[in-house]
Amino acid sequence: MDVILLQRIEKLGQMGEVVKVKPGFARNYLLPQKKALRATDANRARFEKQRAQLEAINLSRREEAQKISGKVEGLTVVIIRQAGETGHLYGSVSPRDVAAAATTGGVTIDRAQVLMDRPIKMLGLHPVRVALHPEVVVTITANVAKSEEEAEIQKKAGGFVPPTGEEQPSLDEVLAEADEAAGGDAEPAAAEPKAEAEAKPKKKAKADKEPKAEKEAKAEKPKADKPKGEKKAKGKKKAESDE
């Protein structure tokens, strides 16, 4: 089917061009959205008569779109969805969802302005093109996550972060482990003075034993060194004097 484009259509053509499209695309999208007219002789004449007015309207809308494009370009919208551990969504994110999230974020966008080749089916950060005007297209980011907290993590990480299977320790747990580690390192240092204290009494006890042994040796020495012959000689002399 041949149609006359009333505005620029991506991958089709510019305003005023006559292009051939599939009948279903024309009946379901172009004609109901008033983006094109059937390429009949009557419509051709009608378009030529209104061309100047249509071009003026198009120029005004383009300038308006360019003014707000700076605010919309780079916008990030958060979309909360349920998903499995691998990041696959239980469902999908459609242009309607992106438009609703952007409107909630303060930028009014119609779902027809969201240009998506296919629905989003994974968690993470996804660039999405938005046509503020047929000739003014910007890119926003759809941050699809299971919660607001995970959306913030994905934003900082630059994409979906798979679960590690281990729960991350809290700040209090980290501080407690640090204190415990510091206490464990201090125990050996405290044990050293204790060992020295135990060693000193042993040395003192050993020193006390030595004088005692010497004392006993001195006490036994006079008794052991007294000669037996001297006693006999004294007894013999006493006997002779008695005679």
* Closest-CA residue to 42 (of 1, 7, 4): 4
- pLDDT level of residue 187 (50, 70, 90 thresholds): very low
103-152 per-position pLDDT tens digit: 998 888 999 899 999 999 999 999 999 999 999 999 999 999 999 999 99
**What's the whole-model pTM score?**
0.61
Give the residue with greater pLDDT, 229 vs 45.
Answer: 45
The domains of the chain are located at: 2-70, 76-157, 171-227
User: Per CATH, the architecture of 76-157 is what?
Assistant: Roll (3.10)
2-70 belongs to which CATH class? alpha beta
pLDDT of residue 224: 46
- How far is it, in rounded angstroms, from Cα 175 to Cα 182? 11
Label each residue of 179-231 as H, E or C.
Answer: HHHHHHHHHHHHHHHHHHHHHHHHHHHHHHHHHHHHHHHHHHHHHHHCCHHHH
Q: How far is CA 28 from CA 19, 21, 24, 36, in A?
A: 16, 12, 6, 12
Query: Residue 183 phi/psi, 5° resolution?
Result: -70, -35
Shared fold status for 2-70 and 76-157 = no
Check whether 195 has a pLDDT greater than 70: no
Give the residue with greater pLDDT, 44 vs 223.
Answer: 44
The DSSP symbol for 112 reads: G
Question: For 29-33, 97-101, 161-165, which range has the lowest pLDDT when averaged over its residues?
Answer: 161-165
The residues with which 47 forms a beta bridge, in sequence order, are none
